[in-house]
Structure 1
Amino acid sequence: MGLQMNTDELMVFLDREFPQVTGDFAIEDLGEMRIRTRLKVGERHLRPGGTVSGPSIFALADVSVYLAVLAMIGPQGLAVTTNCSIDFMRKPAAGVDLIAECRLLKLGRVLAVGEVLIFSEGGESPVARASLTYSIPPR
């Protein structure tokens, strides 16, 4: 199948279609059925106690699978999350970005299933693990 969108095309698409998150995410690496993304952690991503909030961690997992799917199928703005399960396993390190390692486990005509491990930058143990299912719109 091969990649249908490259890193630059994905970031232009994300910035155009989701301007509310412009500047929050970066793509570190992209390959067939996989992507590594970064959440550029800022003050607005923190919860009381100074750790990254659960919704921000979820957003990184969700964006990672979304971009991995789009990289494979092309710019389909209406691909949507239909299911998510996330385990918050440990407190993220303070003051560092989060890195998501995502791989697509299945990419069908109608559904895509992805798995994401999220790490504090420089950390060896994941802070969260998520699995997401995306619905792919008919072409």
Structure 2
Amino acid sequence: MNRPSYYKYPALFSPDGDGWTVRFPDLDNCFTSADSVEEAIVEAQAVLEDCMYFREKQKDDIPQPTPIENIFPEEEGFVQAVVAVMPPVRRAWSRKAVKKTLTIPAWMEEELRKREDINISSILQEALKERLDIKEPVSF
């Protein structure tokens, strides 16, 4: 599947009394809020990146963005295009740690308690890469 390197969607910025809310009319459940316009712009990009990443991951439909000139803000609000640059987002999510339950013999746990220089997660990751004959992905 050939995924785009970026997505660009119009966002509606609206004052909410204490700050600003941001929503993407084309994307259900893609919204955020912040105390200032500047923070809202940063948060809008972050939430768009995450929304698009999970839409890709779950193979959800990715709608075409509505032309920005067809989006009308509420009074005192504004519309702005927000861009989600996806390669670094995909790379970051692929490197997120996932918690796994591990069972080891009690005698091994006793030995591990004696050693502060041992990182079990690191050892397990290296052993799995070797056993599966795989390498860490460089990028997506």
TM-score range, shorter chain: 0.3 to 0.5
Q: Which has the higher strand share?
A: 1
Q: Greater CA radius of gyration, 1 or 2?
A: 2
Q: Tell me the TM-score normalized by structure 1.
A: 0.35
Q: Tell me the TM-score normalized by structure 2.
A: 0.34
